Amino acid sequence: MATHIPIFPASVPVSAHISTPAPAATIIPSGDGTTPLRDTFQRPLRDLRISVTDRCNFRCTYCMPRETFGSDYAFLPHSALLRFEEITRLAKLFVAQGVQKIRITGGEPLLRKELEKLIEMLAVLQTPEGKSVELTLTTNGALLQKKARLLKEAGLTRLTVSLDALDDTVFRAMNDADYSVAEVLQGINTAHAVGFENIKINMVVKRGTNDQEILPFARHFKGSGHIARFIEYMDVGNSNQWQLEHVVPSRDVIARIHAEFPLTSLDANYTGEVAERWRYVDGSGEIGVISSVTQPFCGDCTRARLSTEGKLFTCLFASHGVDLGAPLRQGSDDAQLQNIITRCWQARDDRYSMLRSSGLQDGKKIEMSYIGG
């Protein structure tokens, strides 16, 4: 049902909007797919994000700044990357434990050679109830024009494209790799032409850098059939020099857009959906906001992340992961690998965003380019 637009008092600090999680619950036995695994806060395992490469052709200042990820940066050797057969085997185990949606990410996943072959392999996976797994991919869009048809024919369900500005000068400054807006828009148009619908277009909003692009961005995609989404600038990794004053709260984004294009809120599509949904009152489409800083959604987080070489992370802001790749290559059977997944998820107590302002979270975090956004 539609509700009013939530505008918080400007005098109230961001930390005041961050709630405290419920007490930890008792660990329960392993899930069987129909009864998914639960962590210490009773959050089920429903989503798996798989990084297929730690490399990217962009050097976005909020993710892979060039001063850290320069020409001498030591990326993983090809031999360390999980093979497609290994990824598929692990994905099948996660699906058996309750995962219903798989997102392919990176780095930039379209840099992984013949990625469409992996999509074909994952597209046949089914849940214990016999339902197809939702298979999605996040990309910066620069290579999408070349890959869109292959991905669609391979069985990819949905696409999310990152695009942080429509002004070409601003966009090039942010991606720091001389890619143009036109290249990304061309990729989006091609993807739409080959059959991808409701493409999500993500803009990370950083105050003083691209926040002037909020309205042009909303205006451009309004009525297009795509869904523009605005993401609060987050403190991912350790290299982006994050500061709270650079965050534009989602409430401000909504207020700016609503002032020109009236909005009304929408219910979430499912429990644990990260984006808060809004539609234009005139019926010309939908937008979303992702507010992990000002309105953290840790309490409903159902996502696990598998790194490029097979480490399992239970939070985007985690400092370490649990290795699945090594035991897989050392000959562990499916039951042994399932046991690692089960114990890892049942011990999960991550709630970084809820604790961000408390000073209780660890300072060291894995880079987003390593495990995907």
CATH at 42: 3.20.20.70
Q: Is residue 104 part of a domain?
A: yes
Range with the largest mean pLDDT of 52-66, 198-212, 340-354: 198-212
Count CB-CB contacts under 10 A for residue 189: 14
pLDDT for the residue 352: 66
What gap in Å lies between CA 61 and CA 246, rounded to an integer?
13
- Give the range of the structural domain holding residue 308, as residue numbers without chain letter: 14-371
- Pairing between strand 158-162 and 134-139? parallel
What is the SS3 assignment for 105?
strand
pLDDT for the residue 236: 67
Cβ neighbourhood burial of 320 (10 Å; 0-12, 13-18, 19+) = exposed
Q: Is residue 2 part of a domain?
A: no
pTM (2 d.p.): 0.86
Q: Return mean pLDDT, the chain.
A: 87
For 40-67, b/e burial (b = at least 16 CB within 10 A) is bbebbbbbbbbbbbbbbebbbbbbbbee
Q: Is residue 9 part of a domain?
A: no
Q: Is residue 98 part of a domain?
A: yes
Q: Is residue 236 part of a domain?
A: yes
- DSSP tag of 261: S
Q: Is residue 216 part of a domain?
A: yes
- Residue 34: partners with Cβ closer than 8 Å, 6 or more residues away: 128, 129
What gap in Å lies between CA 181 and CA 58, rounded to an integer?
13
Q: Which of residues 271 and 339 earns the better pLDDT score?
A: 339
Q: Is residue 178 part of a domain?
A: yes
Q: Is residue 141 part of a domain?
A: yes
- DSSP tag of 252: H
pLDDT for the residue 351: 78
Angle at 12 between CA 7 and CA 16, to 5 degrees: 100
Report residue 261 as tokens: 């294009």
Q: Where does the pLDDT of residue 211 fall: very low under 50, low under 70, confident under 90, or very high at 90 and above?
A: very high
User: How many domains does the structure of the chain reveal?
Assistant: 1
